Chains A and B, each alone.
Chain A
């Protein structure tokens, strides 16, 4: 039987590419904003490209904030989706879901340090986690973002742009990837596969 993943429709524009990546791995991606379907899913992915404010507004409008907070199955936030799992984002001073401890802040810019952080960067493992199974070093992932969370106890792997930031995180059943696994070639495919296998 095909593994099923429910994708929360938060209006993010990477919904298509995340679905296709899951399909390439033989999973079935179901896009929905229905709370019942989300609650009963084996695994949930919160994709997202865009800004934190409109992203949270969309989840509130769909009445999904509490639903997501109370999920007990594996949940993966991708890019903005990961940022929304934190308590707060500096982007638009937005109150977020609070499923992960910590806050999301704007990346530092400066000479030679372009923001948005856009392109392939190295993943730096900080601790063992099933999400990193089979991920050899060095591993590169594709990032496109302006905001990020500082590394903390939940951080599985960091990356560096100016300073270190959280690239792969896990706190209980909630996971996040700040880069785009759906666009990170074989490394991204393996990370998604690892999420599907837990």
Chain B
């Protein structure tokens, strides 16, 4: 049986891992290669590297660290940030990334999803969606969230976009619930459950993890395939080996830490 995935997300800015609260006030967390290896050794099932400055600045990710990570770790990883073309994606995948994740460029040009899945297969193509509940109660997407000054609202309902990206060839969706992000009060179960109901490809929850109970909750209640988190892992508040034992004891199928 397929196991649920625990996915630390490393936000990358200028070649360093950083963290922020509600996408602002970034603090340096350390060297990419060292942190990648640390999480691999702690039993992370997959890593996501998100270049938070890439999209707003209209540039592609610096690939030198992608190859460094690919050489060092033996678990899968995904690279997000500023991938705007098949050529950008090819560079990142050939450097050793297993998947690419696109967010703002997909909103600007939805055909990019199809181009990537035609070229590399749907399994390489992750679509990241930043979503927030608006005053009328609807969840809508945001773009350019890496830079708060450039963040904008294209007016698209999250549910509509989620349907569309699957039709276009997304092989996985990471739903980042911005209202919950960085505040550690738990994943947005309501929104993730609504997304799960219409998502037939793997769905990864993002935003809100504060303790191990939140992971149990999101797997049990929203039936997501993976749970992504950053600050709780970086700070050491949640240790991945302990989290995995906790989930296994409660009947959630995960790859045990001892599996290496």
Contacts and interface: CB of A to CB of B under 8 A. Distances in A.
Contacts of A120: 2-3, 5, 45, 255
Nearest to A136: B259
A172 interface: no
Interface in A106-125: 109, 112, 114-122
Contacts of A186: 74, 259-260
B74 A189 contact: yes
A187 B259 CA distance: 8
Interface in A164-198: 180, 182-189
Given A114-B200, A118-B225, A13 B172 contact: no
B141 interface: no
A187 B260 contact: yes
A182 B122 contact: no
Nearest to B254: A120
B48 to A, nearest CB: 13
A139 interface: yes
A23 B67 CA distance: 13
A115 B200 contact: yes
B71 interface: yes
Contacts of B90: 13
Contacts, number: 121
Contacts of B93: 13-14, 16, 49
Given A115-B200, A140-B259, A185-B259, A122 B74 contact: no
B95 interface: yes
A109 B74 contact: no
A109 B201 CA distance: 9
A161 B123 contact: no
B202 A116 contact: yes
A116 B201 contact: yes
Interface in B108-125: 118-124
Interface residues of A, number: 44
A122 B40 CA distance: 19
Interface stretch (A38-46, A63-71, A141-149, A150-158): A141-149
A15 interface: yes
B171 A180 contact: no
A57 interface: no
A21 interface: yes
Nearest to A21: B74
A13 B223 CA distance: 30
Interface string B63-105: 0000100110011100000000000001001111011000000
A161 B173 CA distance: 19
A180 B76 contact: yes
Contacts of B135: none
Contacts of A185: 40, 74-75, 259-260
A138 interface: yes
Given A20-B71, A119-B46, A143-B2, 13 more contacts: A21-B74, A50-B124, A115-B200, A115-B201, A118-B171, A119-B2, A119-B5, A119-B45, A120-B2, A140-B259, A183-B74, A183-B75, A185-B75
Interface of B: 1-5, 40, 45-46, 67, 70-71, 74-76, 90, 93-96, 98-99, 118-124, 171-172, 200-203, 223, 225-226, 255, 259-260
Interface of A: 13-17, 20-21, 23-24, 49-51, 54, 80, 109, 112, 114-122, 138-140, 142-146, 160-161, 180, 182-189
In the A-B complex, the 5 residue pairs with the smallest Cβ-Cβ separation, listed nearest first, are A186-B260, A13-B93, A16-B96, A120-B255, A183-B76
26 contacts: A13-B124, A15-B94, A16-B93, A20-B96, A23-B71, A49-B124, A50-B121, A51-B118, A51-B121, A114-B2, A116-B122, A116-B172, A118-B123, A118-B225, A119-B2, A119-B4, A119-B45, A119-B202, A139-B259, A140-B255, A142-B45, A144-B123, A146-B171, A180-B98, A183-B74, A187-B260
